[in-house]
Amino acid sequence: MFTRTRLTTFAVSAAGACMAALLPVTALAEGEGEDIVVSSGSAMQQWQQRTTAELNRALMREPPGATTENAIIQITFTLGEDGKAANPQFFNRDGSFLERSMAKRAIMSLDNLAEVPVADREDARFLASIIFANDPRSYTKLQARLRKMEQARIASRDDRRQYLALGY
């Protein structure tokens, strides 16, 4: 499996088993329609780096002998009372059972989500996008596809634009 991770806005790289990156997106709180305020870029970047490293470590725990396919796995979730991911749901239908289960396990293992530097953590909704690629060429193609998917999601006028995006 090709192993390179992209982090933050589009450029900083770090090692990992599957491609994952973090990009803060202002989300809207459900109910009152008030913005969730994202704090300073440096606080968000530090949180992103820690969360990316943790996600990468979790993704490296691939089952022995497992061979993943090229796929973009997107999972939405909220923040549970214990500070971990809660209510995970697949946002797209890419990938096989293996990629989907690996991505879900990795997301559910994150333990620093409660540290996300936003004003209203209880109403924060997250979208994790994880690229599984077997080689650099596949990664580049999937990255371009994910970029288009994210541009469409952010430009949408519905609830899809309200997530704090992990990945991309």
pLDDT tens for residues 137-159? Answer: 999 999 999 999 989 888 888 77
Query: In 3D, which of 57, 14, 19, 15 has the Cα closest to residue 140?
Result: 19
Give the model's pLDDT for residue 21: 35
Give the model's pLDDT for residue 41: 60
Q: What's the predicted TM-score (pTM) here?
A: 0.72
Checking if the pLDDT of 104 tops 70, the result is yes
Checking if the pLDDT of 7 tops 60, the result is no
Query: In 3D, which of 131, 157, 158, 159 has the Cα closest to residue 145?
Result: 131
Write the CA distances from 2 to 60, 70, 137, integer angstroms. 12, 10, 9
Q: Where are the alpha helices (DSSP H) in the chain?
A: 41-59, 97-109, 136-155
Checking if the pLDDT of 26 tops 80, the result is no
Q: State whether the Cα torsion 27-28-29-34 is positive or negative.
A: positive
Could you tell me how far CA 56 lies from the centroid of its own chain?
11
Average pLDDT (80-97) is 91
Domain ranges of the chain: 5-166
- pLDDT band of residue 36 (cuts 50, 70, 90) is low
Average pLDDT (124-142) is 92
Q: How far apart are CA 7 and CA 93, in angstroms?
A: 23
At residue 151's C-alpha, the angle toward residues 148 and 156, to 5°, is 125
Q: How far apart are CA 5 and CA 42, in angstroms?
A: 20
Per the model's pLDDT, the better-predicted residue between 84 and 36 turns out to be 84
pLDDT tens for residues 77-86? Answer: 999 988 899 9
To the nearest whole percent, how much of the chain has pLDDT over 70?
74
